[in-house]
Amino acid sequence: MKIWHLVTLLILFSFTSVFLGVTDLSPKHIFNLSETQQQVLLTSRLPRLISILVAGASMSIVGLIMQQLSRNRFVSPTTAGTMDAARLGILVSLMLFTAASPLLQMTISFVFALLGTLIFMKILEKVKFKDAIFIPLIGLMFGNIISSISTFIAYQNDLVQNMSSWMQGDFSMIMSGTYELMLVSIPILILAYIFANKFTIAGMGEDFAKNLGLNYRQVVNIGLVISALVTASVVLTVGVIPFLGLIIPNIVAIYQGDHLKRTLLHTALLGAVFVLFCDIIGRIVIYPYEIPISLTVGVIGSAVFIFLLLRRRKYGL
Amino acid sequence: MGYKMKTWILAVIAVILMALYVFYGLTGNIGYVLPRRLLNLLAICLTGGAIAFATTIFMTTTNNRILTPSVLGLDSLYMLIQTIIIFFFGSNMMVLLGGSVNYLISIAGMILFSLFLYQFLFKGEKNNIYFLLLIGMILGTFFGSFTDFMQVLIDPNEFMMVQDRMFASINNVNTDLLYISIGIIAITFIYFMRFYKYLDVLSLGREEAINLGVPYHYVVKRLLIIVVILISVATALIGPITFLGLLVVNVSYELMKTYRHFYIILGAVLVSMIALVGGQFLVERLFTFSTTISVIINFIGGLYFIYLLLKENRKW
Amino acid sequence: MVKLKNVFKAYNQRKVIEDVSLDIEKGTITSFIGPNGAGKSTLVSMISRLISKDDGAITIDGKDIMQTKNNEMAKKISILKQTNAVNLKLTIRELVSFGRFPYSQGRLTKVDEEKIDEAIDYMELRDIQDKYLDELSGGQRQRAHIAMVIAQDTEYILLDEPLNNLDMRHSVQIMKTLRNLVNEMGKTILLVIHDINFASCYSDHIVALKDGKIVKQGRTCDVIDQCVLKDIYDMDIDIKEIDERKICVYF
């Protein structure tokens, strides 16, 4: 697959996404918008498109970075407890400060996501048997434990309703004014691009990295901060999107190899295209209602993950 | 202390907890509350027993102590099959024929799946246990997401009509299905007795079992069918509790310290009842938590699972 | 008599056993030797029904091993594989009792108990019969498993690398026991073994395998031969005769 394939798909899906919805809005109106149409476009359709693109691209890249740093193909925000920790963070912020501003929620959620990922990385260091299968297994379990704590807290504080809104990623509530926080991901992604080479080297192991004069700890920490920050912002604005950071980098690696500089752009584009595609499906299937993105991605994503696992075994990797 | 003594002690604790569950804070309209509580107790015990029983058999046939039917996603699959049936046949049929028909069709679906599972688990060459676990857990997510997906597709009004009857939880025990469940468990149990003698030998491993003249594939296939029937019954009555089986069977192993399945199964069943009845009593009556016992069991179970994984951290 | 006729076996199109035919006489020890991956273990596993064959016929005393009832076969033939596989909390006596399963189906009779006692005494395990398996040394554990096989009381006994992980003293002890089982109790023993000197000193017949095919089979003195061994192992092996035993020097 070439870059321009992905770009074409991206543009195609983006147009579909913008012109799909209950309010009649089609390309022929574009230069002659009525007031309602203009409003729908600016407050709903475009913010939705932007948040989809950002969420898809950034979650995929975060997955890629985490895989490089842990040197394990199946580590991602879903399989390292990052998402669950971010969700717990939002819950805690709501509990402590009933009217927490989005920025405060974001900060606390980020701290939790970072802590969760750090704990997971610590567990990884303890594990002697670094099997590619074994690590995500522990990560998934770790996530389950965190999320049962969240459920417990939510029940105790009557926050179940609120919590399920981050449990299920959903783009239908995205409006201008609610999604801007997510845009912090964009500068972070640029940062990731700058650091790409260093991540690749760090991914080759601590000794190797030090040998090349790289400050290993620092690079790893930057990677983890990036992952936690992006995950927290996405979970807060959209909700949990499972398996995204896991499957996209793996698919790209199949046809593009493993060098981060070469795969970064592909990963970002494919992630955006994939989420756009899933979102469009979710909006068409029971039109005029919508299926939350987390369900569509959950079904397709887990199926793809199983496919990846079986494929890996077939080639005896 | 021998395992016989321990079994008795467990039994006494279980009975005390059951009495507490039924009689503690029994006020108001006793004629209504008492039978209701008794039915709930019966359902909880039946479920706890079925899960413990099924998990022990499953661990013995697969020869490990981490793999359980729930961890492999069997209870999520049950929910999925239920949803698919409603999706295709609509709630009208449910109302017309009653929940039990749906229930029986779902069990049939589960049996079909178990034959597929059998191919995967036992026919191939040696399987990596972690591989199976990971696949199972993701299958669980897949079934779960797919269930939600289908439920969104079902007409909301139609869905509301059947939701309560279909998707039980420990706070919403499905007592409609209680009698038919007792029947199914009884029949399954009688069928199981034919294979009971093989369990101890099976725990020595596949090769030893064949060496000692166990018709291995014949027995294992039937035991798996028994397992899925029991899991279906349990899920239908009080909904999925993923880590209950893992927890109680391992506790029973540690407590009983024997290879004799009679005592391991008995111990697991009792521990399971103690955990569910006692846990529900504590959560609901004493602490009046608004959470459910499933959440707590999954929390403890999850921790224990990681502990097991890290402890048995070696190649299989 | 164990008879194999044109037996084939492949894993994913990779042939591991190709057209193997052989007869094993009663009351003898037959050793299977050959380099790694020659198919020795596969062959023994097929004879003991642990894995299925793709083609050909395997019969024991004229009965096809796959057509005969499992329980009946378990009274005729037993196999001992790697003994560290069992990790249950079992005592020696409990393990040996499992050997009676084909007869008792789990309910031990008086006859069963006697057989268990005999097997334990034969392997000199009486003093430690209530010890748990995980408390035993490698040699003791191997003896416990052999006691179980003796309790199973089969005419044919198959062993897959019984000397693995044992020191010299225990290896000799085990081989002497096997020899006695043949001489005193009239058993027929088939074993996979790596050490060709043990094979040379203790077996009546040797079957040499390479790449899934039989290179040579016959009496021990015919197979332990410089040319034959060169064929099997692709290396020059010097053979010295010491006390009428052929000893291979391959260092």
B119 touches chain A (CB under 8 A): no
DSSP C42-81: HHHHHHTTSS--SEEEEEETTEETTTS-HHHHHHHEEEE-
The set of chains that have 3 or more CB pairs under 8 A with B is A, C
Look up the pTM and report it. 0.84
Kindly give, in sequence order, each residue whose CB lies less than 8 Å from that of residue B23, ignoring residues fewer than 6 positions away.
none
Q: Measure CB to CB from residue C86 to each of B197, B205, B216 and give the nearest one.
A: B205
Any alpha helices (H) in A72-101, and if so which ranges?
Answer: 82-96
What pLDDT digit, counting tens, does each position of B160-199 carry?
A: 666 666 666 777 777 778 888 899 999 999 999 999 999 9
Which pLDDT score, from 0 to 100, does residue B14 have? 93
Q: Which residue of A has its CA nearest to B127?
A: A313
Cross-chain Cβ contact C98/B213 below 8 Å: no
Rounded to 5 degrees, what are φ and ψ at C24? -120, 125
pLDDT under 50: residue ranges of chain B: 315-316
* Nearest in space to A189 (alpha carbons), one of A257, A116, A269, A255: A269
Beta carbons of C44 and C190 less than 8 angstroms apart: yes
Q: What would the two tokens of residue C162 be? A: 């019984």
Consecutive H or E run containing C22: strand C14-24
The ipTM estimated for the assembled molecules is 0.86
DSSP state of C191: E
| Mean pLDDT calculated for residue range A51-78 | 88
Distance from B212 to chain C by nearest Cα, in Å?
A: 5
Please state, in angstroms and rounded to a whole number, the distance separating the CA atoms of residues B72 and B260.
25
Starting at the earlier edge strand, list the strands of the sheet with C55-60: C14-24, C2-11, C55-60, C63-64
The count of other CB atoms within 10 Å of the CB of residue A107 is 16
- The pLDDT of residue B91: 66
- Model confidence band, residue A162 (pLDDT cutoffs 50, 70, 90): low
Side chain identity at A129, as an amino acid letter? F
Residue of C nearest to B204 (CA): C86
Rg (CA), chain A: 20
Mean pLDDT (whole number) for A17-38: 74
Q: Is residue C178's pLDDT more than 80? A: yes
Query: Which distant-in-sequence residues (6+ apart) come within 8 Å of B256 by Cβ?
Result: B3, B6, B7, B263, B264, B267
Q: Judge whether B59 and B202 are in contact, CB under 8 Å.
A: no
Q: Which helix (H) or strand (E) holds C239?
A: strand C238-242
Q: In the prediction, which pLDDT does C191 show?
A: 92
Is C105 in the B-facing interface, judged by CB distances under 8 Å?
yes
Among the partner-chain residues A137, A291, A306, the one whose CB lies closest to the CB of B130 is A137
| C63 close to B (CB below 8 A) | no
pLDDT at B145: 83
Residues in chain A: 317
Pairing of strands C188-192, C29-33: parallel
Residues of C with Cβ-Cβ distance to B214 under 8 angstroms:
70, 101
Q: Which has the minimum average pLDDT: B254-258, C114-118, C186-190?
A: B254-258
Q: What count of residues does chain B have? A: 316
| Mean of pLDDT over chain C | 88
Amino acid at A284: I
Each residue's pLDDT tens digit, A230-264: 888 888 888 888 888 889 998 888 888 777 777 88
Secondary structure class of C32 (helix, strand, coil): strand
**Residue to substitute from A123, A140, A148, interface B, most B β-carbons within 10 A:** A148
Say if B120 is an interface residue toward chain A (CB within 8 Å).
Answer: no
Angle at B167 between CA B164 and CA B168, to 5 degrees: 90
Contacts of A142 in chain B (CB under 8 A): 306
Question: In the prediction, which pLDDT does B316 show?
Answer: 38
Q: Is the Cβ of B148 closer than 8 Å to some Cβ of chain A?
A: yes
Residues 6+ apart with CB under 8 A from A192: A61, A65, A199, A226, A264
Between A187 and B312, the more confident residue is A187
Q: Which residues of C touch B201 (CB under 8 A)?
A: 98, 101, 106
**Per-residue confidence (pLDDT) for residue C247, from 0 to 100:** 87
Nearest CA to A141 out of A196, A191, A81 is that of A81
The region of weakest confidence among A177-181, B90-94, B220-224, C181-185 is B90-94
Q: Which other chains touch chain A, taking contact as 3+ CB pairs less than 8 Å apart?
A: B
Taking residue A149's Cβ as centre, other Cβ atoms within 10 Å add up to: 18
Instruction: Please report the pLDDT score of residue C93 as a whole number.
Output: 92
Q: Work out the mean pLDDT of chain A and round it to a whole number.
A: 83
Kindly state whether C112 is in contact with chain B, defined as any CB-CB distance less than 8 angstroms: no
The span from the CA of B9 to the CA of B29, in Å, is 34
**Rounded to an integer, what distance in angstroms lies between the CA atom of residue C222 and that of residue C198?**
15
For residue B110, what are the CA distances in angstroms to A41, B107, B154, B268? 48, 5, 22, 24
Helix (H) or strand (E) holding C219: strand C213-219
Cα gap A239→A231, rounded to integer Å: 10
- Most B CBs within 10 Å: which of C71, C96, C98, C150, as the mutation test of the B interface? C98
Can you give the pLDDT at residue C31?
Answer: 92
In sequence order, which ranges of chain C are alpha helices (DSSP H)?
40-47, 70-76, 92-98, 101-104, 110-122, 138-152, 168-185, 196-202, 220-223, 226-233
Residue where the block lists tokens 């509790």: B241
Q: Which of A128, A144, A309 sits opposite B313 (nearest CB)?
A: A128
d(CA C211, CA B167): 58
Q: Is the peptide bond before A136 cis (omega within 30 degrees of 0)?
A: no
C41 part of contact set with chain B, CB < 8 Å:
no
Other beta carbons within 10 Å of C248: 18
Interchain CB contact of C66 with B (< 8 Å): no
CB C29 within 8 A of CB C174: no
**Cβ separation of A302 and B145 shorter than 8 Å?**
yes
Residue B265 and residue B53 in contact, taking contact as beta carbons nearer than 8 Å: yes
8 Å CB contact between B18 and B41? yes
Residue position matching structure tokens 């790694």 = C36
Nearest to C70 among B125, B215, B257 (CB): B215
Residue B309 to residue A137, Cβ atoms within 8 A: yes
Residue of C47, C66, C70 best to disrupt the B interface, most CBs of B under 10 A:
C70
Which phi and psi (to 5°) does residue A256 adopt? -125, -5
- Which chain B residue has its CA at the smallest distance from C152's CA? B212
CA dist list (Å): B120 to B58, B80, B131, B135, B229: 14, 20, 12, 11, 19
Name the DSSP letter for residue C91: B
Neighbours of B9 (CB within 10 A): 13
The number of angstroms, rounded, from the C-alpha of A288 to the middle of its chain's C-alpha atoms is 26
Calpha distance A121→A80 (Å, rounded): 8
Q: Do A152 and B141 touch (CB under 8 A)?
A: no
CB-based burial, C66-88: b 16+ in 10 Å, e otherwise: eebebeebbbbbbbbbebeebeb
Token match 């091993």: residue?
C65
Cβ pairs A/B, distance under 8 A: 106
Cβ neighbours of C101 in B, within 8 Å: 201, 212-214
What was the pLDDT predicted at A221?
Answer: 87
**Nearest CA distance, B188 vs chain A (angstrom):** 32
Cα separation, B145 vs C11, whole angstroms: 37
Q: Is the pLDDT of residue A316 over 60?
A: no
Interchain CB distance below 8 Å, B207 and C70: no
Q: CA nearest B307 in A: which residue? A: A138
Q: Which helix (H) or strand (E) holds C10?
A: strand C2-11
pLDDT at C204 over 60: yes
Say if B2 is an interface residue toward chain C (CB within 8 Å).
no
Which pLDDT score, from 0 to 100, does residue B273 have? 93
For residue A298, list chain B residues with Cβ-Cβ distance below 8 A. Answer: 141-142, 144-145, 148-149
